[in-house]
Structure 1
Amino acid sequence: MATWEEMASTFSRVTDTLGTKIDTGIFDTVVALNMLGIPTKQSCEGHLDWGVPYPWVALQGEKEHCLRLYRYLSAFYAQHPLSLDTVLILHGIRLCSNGARFHEHFSGKEREQKLRQYQDEMQAFTQFLKTLCSAPDRSI
């Protein structure tokens, strides 16, 4: 099994077709998911000035990987406060906050506030995943 440092080193060299590296605000999420056997193919930390105003990670799309992520989400929300707006869901193969799909209906100030909330939720889940990554058997 690869260590966190080895996996982070690998993903620090990953770029998209334009040569852009993984956003720092979603980097640990990408590393953790891949360490836990959930391969990713795209991600974004969320931006107000371009792209979409919420963080997201797209999976490779294998049903078994989606099911594994679903189990991690279930374990996370068994111990973490749940908000209908910020709760992380799998929308197809994309992990994002439930309320993110309504971002076009929010005012500029609401988008800014919600982006922070959605990023905080993703970071809380990432911290949960990182504890699993450091466990000897990496299971829930």
Structure 2
Amino acid sequence: MNISILFANILTGLAFLAHTIGGDIEINSIQPAININNWAEKQQIWTMARCGWHWISFDLLFASIALALVNFTNFFDNKKTILQLLLCYFFGYAIVWLLLILISNSFPDNFLKLGQWMLLLTISGLIYYGTKKQNA
């Protein structure tokens, strides 16, 4: 068992749960009221945002499953390649997150309040470290 990959797996699994449960509660808080003039247009945009939100939930679930398969089974012939792909995946998400914060309107402590980039970099760092120890 690779401890670094195990910690990345745990963080990814926890992120999936937080994103799916807590995130859906948050996104429901911005659902448009049915009594506004352009409700259908706002509802369509909100529904698209909610679907996009849970697209990420699905990504986190499958990344967590892949990490568990790498760490606990011989499902993949080349575990190191899977880990390298997941490393690029989480690192890429972190970069996109940071870029979007940079190009968006600023507010106090925006890099800390929207600190998911730190989690994504931590996961990618753990996978990077774990990949160095992987025998495949």
Q: TM-score range by the shorter chain?
A: 0.3 to 0.5
More strand by share: 1
Report which structure shows greater RCO (CA 8 Å, sep ≥6).
2
Tell me the TM-score normalized by structure 2: 0.36
Tell me the TM-score normalized by structure 1: 0.36
